[in-house]
Amino acid sequence: MNKLLGCLALSIVAPALVGQCLSAPATSTSYGNGDDFVASAGVGIDMGFLFPFAGGSFQFIHPCSNGYAWLSDGTPVLTVADYTATVAEFDLEDPRIAAYWTDLNLQAVNNADLLVDTSVANQCTVTWVNATLYGGTEIFNLQMTLDVSGQIDFGFASNILHTGNLIVGTAPGFGTGAPAASEDLSVGLPILTDMAYEEFPGGTFDLAGQGLVMVATMPGYIPAPMSIGCATKTTYGQGCTEINTGVYELFAIGATGTVGATGSAITFLRTGNSYLMLDAIPGTFVTPTAPTIVSAGDDAFGTITLSTPMPTASGVTSTLTVCTNGYIAMSANQPSLTADYSPTAAEFQAFTEPTICGPWYDWSPNVGGQIVTEEIAGIVYVTWDAVTPYNVATTDTFQYQFNLATGDCTIVYDNMSYGGASGWHTPLFGYTAGSGAGVDDVDFASALLNTVTIADVGAVPLMLDSNTPSLGGSWDMTTTNIDPISPIAITFLGDAQTSIPMNLVFGNADPSCSIYINTILGSLQGFPVAGVTTVSLPIPVNPALSGAVLTAQSICLTTTNAANLLSSNGLEGTIGN
């Protein structure tokens, strides 16, 4: 990362003028809140230095709640709190500097304040904190700093706004000559008069989120926009999903591949707020000894009362609801209105209860075989014992095994035929958390080569967020929702935003994944704990870095897509105070 910082120092052109962030200095003196008032009841506040202005010098300032400040020698008490900004008044009244002269309100309900700071030698800073337009609700800050050199710095929050007339600039006052014309302060051209200002009609302001420096040339000023030096961060884009709330595969008639084949087993391990689905754990079929019949009907539901509550995606359940067509809801409620015998993806996605389909298929216990249950040593066994598929002579034997203490479920396939030949005999394997949860259509033959993770609630994207990157601090970037199978998460750094579908670069990437940084300046590796990791980039105390922009994006490993890769949203940070 030292190389990265060196690269940044060489490649980033720092703004020529950098101000301070709009937060008020901690040493500021409060002059209260309200509407249409002048600080200190109009009595001048001693700045501690002589400020050169319009051919003279002034040591006292009289800030007004309406975004401007009078200047004086300390003799007058200036109480006029004018809220109607006009060029004529600007020219004729006392010497004045307008940071953002319009009808402002410093309301106590918003913790607003008018602050003045003179703790820095030869500088005076006035901050309007939590101001609103009169009658408005949008809260913003603005700031003005006067320097002994005659320079004036203004700072404007990004959400600053006005609906009435607005004036920003300087006026010697007392009608010292014909009023100067309004200038465009943002273009940086010299203004040869001490009345140097811009008049903005209602709703027009091109310096929001910026600063403005007025370099005194005596007479006149050279105005120039500047960075206000605030450290900021923002997220953009959308990470792709780590784990969904369901998975399924709908097979062809009579075909299941290796899933659910004779002699195989599927396990759903309950881990916190998700299930891990895998086929690597051998299962043992337990022959029923003293079972109870669950249901003998065709296309019917039966219920099983558990001896102790079992953990599920919905919390716990004391009941299993069994459909004779192969699926079991871990709930006292049916997952669907009918015990449907013809599985479809749409119907599976509409299930309302946490349900395992292992598989969903058309069986007829009223013709042959039984569906039975018994509990042995804390394990509830639900067995399709030689049950025939609809309208054929073959039989299928398989068994759900629920561990009441852990919520784990293993399905053991003892003897399977899937002998039904009609058009609806298409086995559906899968799990859903219910309540219309989003589910992924997966290829179990490849997905089960690794662990498949299934969340209880919501499809959660890989997410990246941070603090603000302040000079002398560090940019702490936190990645969350990291797939449990990923041993690391990598955060890459760029210097601009972009948005490119990842599958244009990696052909097998998930279409919901995107690349959000323009280049790779460097990277940081984090080692997740419970799906979260934080990496930090130290920011030197180097004013040349103020205003520099960095972007970031994280990736982690996954088994939920063919590229085995998840990407986060983008993150942009601006280095500053």
Q: Are 415 and 248 spatial neighbours (Cβ–Cβ below 8 Å)?
A: no
- How far from the centroid of its chain's Cα atoms is residue 430's Cα? 30
233-239+460-574 folds as Immunoglobulin-like (2.60.40)
List the strands of the sheet with 533-538, edge to edge: 463-466, 474-480, 533-538
Alpha helices in 340-494 (DSSP H): 345-349, 444-447
pLDDT digits (tens, 9 = 90+) for 416-475: 999 887 888 899 999 999 886 668 788 888 878 767 878 776 667 899 999 989 888 999
Q: If you average pLDDT over residues 19-44, what whole number do you get?
A: 89
pLDDT digits (tens, 9 = 90+) for 130-155: 999 999 999 999 999 999 999 999 99
Q: If you average pLDDT over residues 234-245, what whole number do you get?
A: 82
Nearest-angstrom CA–CA distance, 453 and 561:
12
pLDDT, averaged across the chain: 90
Instruction: Check whether 15 has a pLDDT greater than 70.
Output: no
Domain-by-domain residue ranges, the chain?
19-228, 233-239+460-574, 245-455
> Is 162 strand, coil or helix?
coil
For Cα atoms 446, 448, 449, give the angle at the middle one, nearest 5 degrees.
70
Q: Are 386 and 410 spatial neighbours (Cβ–Cβ below 8 Å)?
A: no
What pLDDT sits at residue 9? 37
Instruction: Check whether 393 has a pLDDT greater than 70.
Output: yes
What pLDDT sits at residue 472? 86
Supply 558's token pair.
Answer: 């996954």
What pLDDT sits at residue 21? 66
Nearest-angstrom CA–CA distance, 113 and 23:
12
What pLDDT sits at residue 17? 41
Instruction: Check whether 4 has a pLDDT greater than 60.
Output: no
**8-state DSSP, 447:** H
Q: Spell out where 343-496 has E strands.
A: 355-360, 370-376, 379-387, 396-403, 409-415, 428-432, 440-441, 452-455, 460-461, 463-466, 474-480, 489-494
Indicate the range of 113-122, 366-375, 443-452 predicted with least confidence: 443-452
Distances (CA, A) of 133 to 116, 202, 466: 21, 12, 32
For Cα atoms 382, 388, 393, give the angle at the middle one, nearest 5 degrees.
155
Given pLDDT bands bounded at 50, 70 and 90, which one contains residue 561? confident
Instruction: Check whether 312 has a pLDDT greater than 70.
Output: yes
Q: Are 554 and 571 spatial neighbours (Cβ–Cβ below 8 Å)?
A: no
Distances (CA, A) of 261 to 167, 279, 535: 79, 11, 45
Position with higher pLDDT, 29 vs 543:
29
